[in-house]
């Protein structure tokens, strides 16, 4: 009787299948395998694009909160009337210079940084940057630790404290996860601008300009080159994608 | 001798309750089987057997591609399933996952598999009757099958 230990060898089929998988990744370096027969062209998040916003505060009157209400309605973060714990994806911050008396309101949301601090600190990889520069939370893997909220110098993210029902089908959100402005990624992927930009242009002062910074012919790229607009806390070197004129 | 007599009405009422509830249907051999409501579309994105076995894997891979890369294929979107399989409640609106009649719940409570999809996702369509269903080509389903086999033997 043999005393040799019985080693569990994979059968022929399993071996071949494994080889097939190895080939698929070896044969096509740099090419992503898609589950649903899609290709790179169908992936809306293109690394060639850098989505950005330019907000002209000269056209953004105090007291107007059209962008905030548009975002709230589009993404369904109405809240429960508890300001301390309710989510807020975009808010208007009042700036007042005591010496000059200069007074203005600035819409502040996720700045979609090129070097996002929230992504650096995320322990699970839930906080991530899409190839086109949009910074998002993958709520499937978010554990709700809120490190990203502490790391973000813009206070752009919120934690969902209470159970949520009847979410918008295009904007899933639930208790125990962190969320923030998505630049209306569901609209972008369908070729439409973010809700705040659309509403500001239609009903407000048209203060928000949205576009692709990597396209030198785009309106936003031209405006950024011409006016050299400011970034909030640019000294931190996070390179936010949201820029402000007349700050 | 007394015991069976006292049990009889209880058993009878249990049978009636079971018959009245949605999970009442029995297979030919008397085994209770779930009967999830049929979808509104002409046919599902893949045949029933394939969907029963693979829908969770399909949703898992679709979610990753949609969230991280922006691959939006409406026919494999959870919203597509939810719209097509929406069940109308007594108020004329589609029922949410809180109801036992919800398409996903009708099977998942039978199988005792709890899902947390609807903690975040909408469990009923925003616009009633609107479905994003587009019948995919058979080769697409074959490609999914191949992919699922490749990534996890």
Render B33-65 in DSSP notation, one character per residue. Answer: ---PPPPSSSS-SS-HHHHHHHHHHHHHHHHHH
* The two structure tokens encoding residue A160: 């969902």
Residues B53 and B116 in one domain: yes
Residues B48 and B28 in one domain: no
Residue A21: pLDDT band (50, 70, 90) is very low
Contact B120 A185 (CB under 8 A): no
Q: DSSP of B102-122, one letter per residue?
A: SHHHHHHHHHT----HHHHS-
Contact B126 A33 (CB under 8 A): no
| Exposure string over A18-44, b if 16+ CB within 10 A, otherwise e | eeebeeeeeeeeeeeebbbbbeeeebb
Could you tell me which residues are beta bridge partners of residue A245? A56
Contact B69 A130 (CB under 8 A): yes
Interface test with B, best of A10, A35, A189 (most B CBs within 10 A): A35
Residues B28 and B54 in one domain: no
Residues B113 and B143 in one domain: yes
Residues B3 and B43 in one domain: no
Q: Which residues of B touch A24 (CB under 8 A)?
A: 150
- B6 has pLDDT over 50: yes
Contact B150 A173 (CB under 8 A): no
**According to the model, what pLDDT value does residue B4 have?**
53
Phi, psi dihedrals of residue A242, rounded to the nearest 5°: -100, 125
- B121 has pLDDT over 90: yes
Q: Taking the model in full, what pTM does it have?
A: 0.78
Residues B57 and B111 in one domain: yes
Q: Which residues, other chains included, contact A37 with Cβ-Cβ below 8 Å and sequence gap of 6+?
A: B139, B140, B143, B144, B147
Residues B22 and B43 in one domain: no
CB A92 within 8 A of CB A69: no
Q: Which residues of B touch A185 (CB under 8 A)?
A: 70
Q: Which residues of A touch B79 (CB under 8 A)?
A: 169-170
Q: DSSP of A102-113, one letter per residue?
A: -EEEEEEE----
Residues B48 and B16 in one domain: no
Lowest-pLDDT range of A88-92, A100-104, A108-112: A100-104
The residue of chain A with its CA nearest to that of B80 is A169
Q: Which residues of B touch A165 (CB under 8 A)?
A: 96
Burial (CB < 10 A; 0-12, 13-18, 19+), residue A118, is buried
Give CA–CA dist B2/A228, Å, rounded. Answer: 92
The residue of chain B with its CA nearest to that of A33 is B147
- B18 has pLDDT over 60: no
The model's pLDDT over B56-92, given as tens digits with 9 standing for 90+, comes to: 999 999 999 999 999 888 888 899 899 999 999 898 8
**According to the model, what pLDDT value does residue B41 have?**
81
Phi, psi dihedrals of residue A230, rounded to the nearest 5°: -85, 155
Residues B53 and B122 in one domain: yes
Contact A24 B71 (CB under 8 A): no
Contact B120 A132 (CB under 8 A): no
* The two structure tokens encoding residue B17: 């309750």
Residue A44: pLDDT band (50, 70, 90) is confident
The residue of chain A with its CA nearest to that of B143 is A37
Q: What domains are defined for chain A? A: 12-42 (no CATH), 51-245 (3.30.70.20)
CB A36 within 8 A of CB B144: yes
- Total domains, chain B: 2
Q: Which domain holds residue B66?
A: 39-151
Residues B87 and B125 in one domain: yes
The residue of chain A with its CA nearest to that of B140 is A37
Residues B50 and B121 in one domain: yes
Lowest-pLDDT range of A29-43, A88-102, A135-149: A29-43
* The two structure tokens encoding residue B97: 């996952």
Residues B24 and B55 in one domain: no
């Amino acid at each position: 009787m043999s005393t040799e230990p019985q080693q569990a060898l994979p059968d022929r089929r399993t071996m071949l299948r494994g080889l097939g998988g190895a080939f698929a990744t070896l044969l096509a370096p740099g090419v992503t395998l898609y589950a649903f027969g899609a290709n790179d062209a169908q992936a809306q998040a293109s690394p060639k694009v850098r989505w950005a916003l330019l907000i002209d505060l000269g056209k953004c009157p105090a007291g107007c909160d059209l962008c905030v209400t548009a975002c709230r309605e589009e993404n369904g973060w109405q809240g429960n009337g508890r300001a301390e714990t309710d989510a807020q994806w975009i808010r208007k911050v009042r700036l007042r210079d005591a010496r000059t008396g200069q007074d203005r309101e600035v819409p502040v949301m996720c700045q979609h940084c090129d070097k996002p601090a929230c992504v650096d600190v995320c322990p699970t990889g839930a906080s991530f940057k899409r190839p086109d520069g949009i910074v998002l939370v993958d709520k499937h893997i978010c554990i709700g630790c809120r490190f990203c909220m502490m790391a973000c110098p813009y206070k752009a993210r919120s934690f969902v404290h209470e159970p949520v029902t009847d979410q918008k089908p295009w904007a899933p959100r639930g208790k125990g996860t962190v969320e923030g402005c998505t630049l209306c990624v569901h609209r972008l992927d369908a070729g439409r601008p973010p809700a705040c930009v659309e509403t500001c242009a239609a009903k407000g002062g048209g203060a928000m300009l949205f576009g692709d910074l990597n396209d030198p012919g785009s309106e936003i790229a031209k405006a950024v080159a011409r006016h050299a607009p400011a970034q909030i806390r640019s000294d931190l070197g996070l390179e936010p994608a949201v820029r402000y004129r007349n700050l | 001798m007394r015991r069976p007599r006292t049990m009889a009405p209880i058993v009878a009422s249990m049978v009636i309750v079971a018959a009245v509830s949605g999970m009442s249907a029995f297979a030919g051999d008397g085994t209770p089987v779930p009967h999830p409501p049929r979808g509104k579309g002409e046919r599902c994105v893949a045949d029933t057997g394939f969907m029963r076995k693979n829908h969770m894997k399909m949703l898992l891979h679709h979610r990753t591609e949609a969230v991280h890369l922006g691959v939006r294929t409406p026919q494999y979107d959870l919203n597509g399933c939810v719209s097509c399989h929406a069940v109308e409640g007594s108020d004329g609106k589609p029922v949410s996952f809180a109801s036992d009649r919800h398409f996903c719940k009708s099977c998942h409570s039978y199988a005792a598999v709890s899902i947390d999809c609807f903690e975040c996702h909408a469990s009923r369509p925003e616009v009633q009757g609107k479905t994003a269903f587009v019948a995919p080509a058979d080769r697409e389903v074959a490609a999914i099958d191949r992919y699922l086999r490749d990534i996890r033997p």
